[in-house]
Amino acid sequence: MCHKKKSKALSVVLGALLLCTVMPVGASANGSGFKDVNPDHWGYETISWAKENGIVDGYPDGTFLPEKSVGQTEFLAMLIRAYKPKGFSEQSSDNDWRTPYVQYAYKMGWGGSYIVPPSSKLSSSPEPEYMEQRMYAARFIANANGRTYDFNDSIRFLLDSGLSKGKTDNTVAGFQGDDFLTRAEAVTFIKSVKSKLDMLYPAPEFMMTYDPKTLTLSPFEAFPLVVEKPVIYGYYSHIILTTPSSGYNLTHDPSYTISGTVEKAVGEELNLTVEYWDNGEFILEKSLKTPITTGDFKTTIELPKQGIFRIVIYSKQEKATPNKALTKFYVEYKPK
């Protein structure tokens, strides 16, 4: 993939020009707000929509440059700005406009492109801005729909969901995933997603296999149940769940029981966190512990209100290691 390094100051300036510059009144006479996007341009209506909704801005000279390749974080910013998710702030602690967007994507488990943990404060320069290929955009969009697929499965998901028609035809080859995504194509993707997806969703950390039957399922319902067997500093923990048996579980009873056996664990108890899905982000409701008794564990959680809950299980070792867990799954409490 083509990319080049930038200094921190240059990165901030370019980011501001691409996304944050306010164009002076009267810079363009046409409705798009950009003098190089006329009504006869194929992306005119979508670009106008994106401008009106604060998703994109242009260059100081009043242009949008619709055929210019879009950067990875620029595409990510467009997606997040389209939804304005709860709890998200564009304020950056390090003067790099990209930081809040990367942090949000990392928190949501999106790895569709080169999303990595936010750079260390000791880092002397920010990560370079990579140009976004269409296949990476497909993975981002699948992530935002609560799925984690490889490139081809991500493209199939987009095509089957009606989120894209491809460039030449409705096939993986016709999608032309190796091509770089233009700014006009980027806002077209964003508008299509916005018309079909009610909010941005977290994605599983592990790869899934695409199944067209899951298209009718919500992002939570499509979540697979995976029990990790992590190796950390020579130790590992492993549990076998008896209940639940799937990644999404509907209950009509506020008392929900979790049970299973422990193959190996550090410590004599398991740690659980219960998080509530609050319209775009998970809020910690409670943390609790369940003892390991003769290799088994069983605990009952009282769900305080209706809605989606994410249950995360750790052993003592994983609890001390950021972003490590034995398993995660969803429980939806919906009274009859």
pLDDT given at position 16: 39
pLDDT given at position 69: 94
Q: Which residues of 193-202 are buried (b: 16+ CB within 10 A; e: fewer)?
A: bbeebeebbb
Paired residues of 328 in beta bridges: 312
What span, in angstroms and rounded, lies between the C-alpha atoms of 329 and 244? 8
Q: Which domains does the chain have, with CATH numbers?
A: 3-196 (no CATH), 231-333 (2.60.40.10)
The average pLDDT across 290-295 equals: 92
Does position 23 have pLDDT exceeding 70, yes or no?
no
Backbone angles phi, psi at 275, to 5 degrees: -120, 145
Q: Kindly report the CA angle at 86 between 196 and 303, in degrees rounded to 5?
A: 95
Question: What is the Cα Rg of the chain in Å?
Answer: 22
More confident residue, 80 or 267: 80
The average pLDDT across 234-254 equals: 89
pLDDT digits (tens, 9 = 90+) for 98-137: 888 888 888 888 875 445 445 444 444 456 778 899 999 9
Residue positions counted in the chain: 336
pLDDT given at position 30: 56
Q: Quick one: pLDDT band at residue 323, thresholds 50, 70, 90?
A: low
What span, in angstroms and rounded, lies between the C-alpha atoms of 137 and 149? 12
Q: Which two tokens stand for residue 223?
A: 């979540």
Does position 29 have pLDDT exceeding 50, yes or no?
no
Q: Quick one: pLDDT band at residue 86, thresholds 50, 70, 90?
A: confident
pLDDT given at position 124: 43
Q: Which two tokens stand for residue 212?
A: 């067209």
What are the CA-CA distances from residue 113 to residues 32, 136, 139, 149, 197 (Å)? 29, 5, 7, 12, 20
Question: Which of 83-97, 286-300, 311-325 is least confident?
Answer: 311-325
pLDDT given at position 279: 85
Percent of the chain residues topping a pLDDT of 70: 81
pLDDT digits (tens, 9 = 90+) for 64-75: 999 999 998 899
- Determine how many CB atoms are found less than 10 A away from the CB of residue 119: 16
Does position 310 have pLDDT exceeding 90, yes or no?
yes
What span, in angstroms and rounded, lies between the C-alpha atoms of 116 and 293? 39
- Reference 103, options 87, 122, 83; nearest CA is 87
What are the CA-CA distances from residue 77 to residues 33, 98, 126, 308 (Å)? 20, 8, 17, 27
Q: Please provide the distance, in angstroms rounded to a whole number, between the alpha carbons at the two ends of the chain.
A: 52
The average pLDDT across 307-321 equals: 80
- Determine how many CB atoms are found less than 10 A away from the CB of residue 58: 27
More confident residue, 178 or 227: 178
- Determine how many CB atoms are found less than 10 A away from the CB of residue 249: 20
For the chain, give percent helix, strand, coil, nearest 5.
Answer: 25, 25, 50
What is the residue-averaged pLDDT of the chain?
83
Does position 280 have pLDDT exceeding 90, yes or no?
no
Q: Quick one: pLDDT band at residue 319, thresholds 50, 70, 90?
A: low
Whether the model clears a pTM of 0.95, i.e. scores above it, the answer is no
The average pLDDT across 73-84 equals: 93
What span, in angstroms and rounded, lies between the C-alpha atoms of 51 and 179? 25
Q: Quick one: pLDDT band at residue 317, thresholds 50, 70, 90?
A: low
Contact 33, 48 (CB under 8 A): yes
Q: Quick one: pLDDT band at residue 237, thresholds 50, 70, 90?
A: confident
Question: Which of 37-41, 91-95, 217-221 is least confident?
Answer: 91-95
Contact 79, 112 (CB under 8 A): no
Helix axes of 134-144 and 183-196: crossing angle, nearest 10 degrees: 20
Distance of alpha carbon 210 from the chain centroid: 17
- Reference 16, options 73, 66, 88; nearest CA is 73
pLDDT given at position 5: 40
pLDDT given at position 322: 52
pLDDT given at position 94: 78
pLDDT given at position 231: 63
Percent of the chain residues topping a pLDDT of 90: 58
